Structure 1
Amino acid sequence: MGRGDLTDAEWARLRPYLPWNVGRGGRWKDHRRVINGILFRLRTGIPWRDLPARFGKWKTVHDRQRRWSADGTWERVLRAVQADADATGGIDWSMVSVDSTVCRAHQHAAGARREAPRNSGKRTRPVQHRPDEGLGRSRGGLTTKIHVVGEGGLRPLATLVTPGQWGDAPQMVPVLERVKVPRPAGGRPRTRPGHLGGDKAYSSLRNRRYLRRRQIKHTIPERKDQRANRKRRGSAGGRPTGFDTTVYKRRNEVERLINRLKNYRAVATRFDKRAYVFHGSVTAASVRLWIRP
């Protein structure tokens, strides 16, 4: 077993949730070695072609990562290990936090091609800044933003990938809607935390109304311009928002979680050309955080 490979305990937790039948009677080959290759690339950020020979053919490792990112396998595995942790009381639902982080995109991440219509006779052309590819232009170059909902154990409940220049407030609802932890006994998945923490970037009337409608308590500081506008309107501006400084201190948990995710170099810097593959890389890193003892 090499440095960073799955331990026997981690493999025992992960193995039951992996797909084993390819179709038409076929079976996947040696999941453990391939996943170790995926984790090695996530940790080091090296090109796929430079994977050490002990992980087998680099294309086998790359193709499985791409396929599992496209068909939702990594998402299903993440929810399965989350359900396993929730069944034993391993998820702190009393307080979750939301935050985002910007990742620089390598030059090789640009230029995802648009599919040309069939029988059109036209060649595909590179398109660099499509919103669905999660690439944004900033002063420093191309960037991608990862939005994270984390629980108190420093593990992600949900992630969302957007272009780097997109704001945080409009993405709070979409990333919270991705929190769906299945219940082993059946029924609807668990989606609602007891309390939500966020910085002032998430302070908006829309977000507060959404949280109140779902009966989720929240600690989000009010921005100065919003506070001044509320006071200017007098009684029509409504009541001041509640804010507990002691509870707000727990928001550092999601910041520490982001640091753990960005320990993986292929997450801290985006090398993947397609957004769904990069989201699969973030999800695979999240799975590793969940199965660690």
Structure 2
Amino acid sequence: MGRGDLTNAEWVRTEPRLPASGRRGGRWNDHRKVIDGVLFRLRTGKPWQDLPDRFGMHKTVYEQHRRWSADGTWDQILRAVQAEADLAGRIDWSMVSVDSTSCRAHQHAAGARKKKPRVPKKRTTPQHHRSDEGLGRSQGGLTCNIHLAGEGEYRPLAFLVTPGQWGDAPQMIQVLERIRVPRPEGGRPRTRPDHLGDDKAHSSRRNRRYLRRRQIKHTIPEPKDQRASRKRRGSKGGRPAGFDTEIYKRRNEVERTVNRLKNSRAVATRYDKRAYVFHGTGTVAAVRLWLRP
């Protein structure tokens, strides 16, 4: 077992949730070796062609990662380990925060062909496929954003990949609706935190209405321009938004979650051309955080 590979304990928790067969009906040679290859590339950011020989053929490792990113296998594994943690009481639902981070795109991430991506059978569109490939041009060049919801133990519950020039406020609802932690003992998956904490970038009337409708308590500071606009409208502007400074101090938790996720070089810098493959790369990084004690 090399540095960064799955430990025996992590493998025992991961193996039951892996697909049993390959594309042609036969079993894969060694799931663990391939996953260790994906983790090596995730940690180092090296090109797939530069994977060490101990992981087997680099094309096999890449194709399995691409296939599992397309058919949602990585997402299923993430939800399974989240359900396991929730059953053990290891998810801090008392405070969930949403934040975004910018990931600089490597030059190799650009230039994806404008054609229909290869997809597994029985699917018409890959999971998380975007026609714009989640890339946008800003002052720093090609970038993409990761919008994520993090819980109190510095682990991501859900995230979304968008082009770099997209704003934060319009993505908050989409991120929250991706939170879906199954309950193995029965019942509907948990989708609602006890409290939500966001920064000024997520403050909007639409977002606050959404949170009130779902009965989610929230702490979001109101920007000066929105506060001034509300006062100009008088009684039609509504009541001032409540704000608890003590609760807002926990905003650092989601920022620390972002830092833990971007410790993986293949997440901090985007090398994947396809948005759904990059989403799979981020999901693998999130699974690794959930597997760690």
Question: Which interval holds the TM-score relative to the shorter structure?
Answer: over 0.9
Where does the alignment leave 5 or more consecutive residues of structure 1 unmatched? 117-129
Asked if 1:28 is matched to 2:28, the reply is: yes
Report how far residue 23 of structure 1 moved: 5.2
Report how far residue 15 of structure 1 moved: 1.2
Report how far residue 22 of structure 1 moved: 2.0
Asked if 1:188 is matched to 2:188, the reply is: yes
Structure 2 SS opposite 1:2: coil
Q: Deviations over 1:223-256 (max 9, x none)?
A: 1000011112222211110000100011110000
CA distance in 2, matches of 1:232, 1:165: 30
- Alpha-carbon contact 1:131-1:163 (below 8 Å) kept: no
- Alpha-carbon contact 1:203-1:222 (below 8 Å) kept: yes
Structure 1 SS opposite 2:132: helix
1:256 alignment counterpart? 256
The normalised TM-score by structure 2 is 0.93
1:12 alignment counterpart? 12
1:200 alignment counterpart? 200
Structure 2 SS opposite 1:104: strand
2:175 alignment counterpart? 175
2:229 alignment counterpart? 229
CA distance in 2, matches of 1:29, 1:75: 22
Structure 1 SS opposite 2:22: strand
2:122 alignment counterpart? none
Report how far residue 72 of structure 1 moved: 0.3
Give the letter for the 2:231 counterpart: K
Give the letter for the 1:245 counterpart: T
Report how far residue 187 of structure 1 moved: 2.5
Structure 2 CA distance for partners of 1:25 and 1:136, relative to 1, 3 Å: closer
1:104 alignment counterpart? 104
Give the letter for the 2:73 counterpart: T
Structure 1 stretch displaced more, 99-108 or 179-188: 179-188
CA distance in 1, matches of 2:84, 2:35: 20
2:157 alignment counterpart? 157
2:283 alignment counterpart? 283
CA distance in 2, matches of 1:2, 1:95: 36
1:127 alignment counterpart? none
Structure 2 CA distance for partners of 1:93 and 1:265, relative to 1, 3 Å: same
CA distance in 1, matches of 2:216, 2:82: 21
- Alpha-carbon contact 1:77-1:287 (below 8 Å) kept: yes
The normalised TM-score by structure 1 is 0.93
Give the letter for the 2:94 counterpart: S
Give the letter for the 1:89 counterpart: G
Structure 1 stretch displaced more, 1-10 or 166-175: 1-10
CA distance in 2, matches of 1:23, 1:189: 30
CA distance in 2, matches of 1:132, 1:208: 29
Over aligned residue pairs, what C-alpha RMSD do you find?
1.1
Structure 1 SS opposite 2:84: helix
Structure 2 SS opposite 1:157: strand
1:218 alignment counterpart? 218
Structure 2 SS opposite 1:240: coil
- Identical amino acids, percent of aligned pairs: 76
Structure 2 CA distance for partners of 1:131 and 1:23, relative to 1, 3 Å: closer
Q: Deviations over 1:112-159 (max 9, x none)?
A: 11127xxxxxxxxxxxxx753100001111000000000001111001
Aligned 1:261-272 pairs, distance under 5 A: 261-272=261-272
CA distance in 2, matches of 1:71, 1:29: 20
Report how far residue 24 of structure 1 moved: 5.4
2:119 alignment counterpart? none
1:54 alignment counterpart? 54
Count of aligned pairs between the two proteins: 280
Structure 2 SS opposite 1:158: strand
Structure 2 CA distance for partners of 1:132 and 1:261, relative to 1, 3 Å: same
